[in-house]
Amino acid sequence: MTWDWQYTGDVLPDLLHGLRYTLIATTLGYALALVLGLVWTLLRRTPYAAVNHTVRWITEFVRSTPLIPQLYFVFFVLPAFGLTIGSLTAGVLTLGVHYSTYTAEVYRAGIADVPKGQWEACTALNLPRSRAWLDVILPQAVRRVIPTLGNYLIAMFKDSPLLLAVNVVEVLNAAYQVGSRSLRFLEPITMVGLLFVVVSVISSILVRRLERRYATH
């Protein structure tokens, strides 16, 4: 089978439309993972053993189960309990919750890496606990883990084709649809691979620049 440039040009708009949904799902899912991961981390540091153990078991369960069964549960099982969610929303929520269990561990490592003297200084200055966290501890902790958080962004982007399982018309689903209509898969699937490489490389460059500007080593 030879490469058909005319066909490639014809299917490219459909692939770029699918890429748009891929980027939307990745961006929103990553934002949710960053916020929810911090929530898990802070809950793990509470003095209440019941909260600590409950959060630990929840995050371990989510992290230890594959992403596709989680997608199926959110999209196909929750409607049986009266909670119907759109495919894109289900994909964003599942990606966000799944990766939040990983970002939680990243935050935990960053917080543990903050020098003990910083905590002692907050106590000596009699800073309120909220100010100590927001103005002293978290800024230092996040700067220490920027490289790892950036890597999870790229990993989430590469996992986004799994949203095909819940009918999100992301870039791989778009390639499958146009290939099914023409029975030619060489061009659309190859273009999907190239689009993923391009976006991943650009993301890596941006993450490295962010790391050089803000991260501490």
Q: Using one digit for the tens of pLDDT, what is the confidence trace for 120-172?
A: 888 888 888 888 888 888 888 888 898 899 999 999 999 999 999 998 989 99
Domains of the chain are: 5-214 (1.10.3720.10)
| Model pLDDT, residue 11 | 93
At 73, list the tokens. Answer: 């549960």
- 183: DSSP letter: T
| Model pLDDT, residue 205 | 92
The residue length of the chain stands at 217
pTM metric for this prediction = 0.91
Rounded to an integer, the average pLDDT of 92-111 is: 95
Sign of CA dihedral 102, 104, 108, 110: positive
Largest CA-CA distance found in the chain, in angstroms, rounded: 73
Q: Using one digit for the tens of pLDDT, what is the confidence trace for 48-71?
A: 889 999 999 999 999 999 999 999
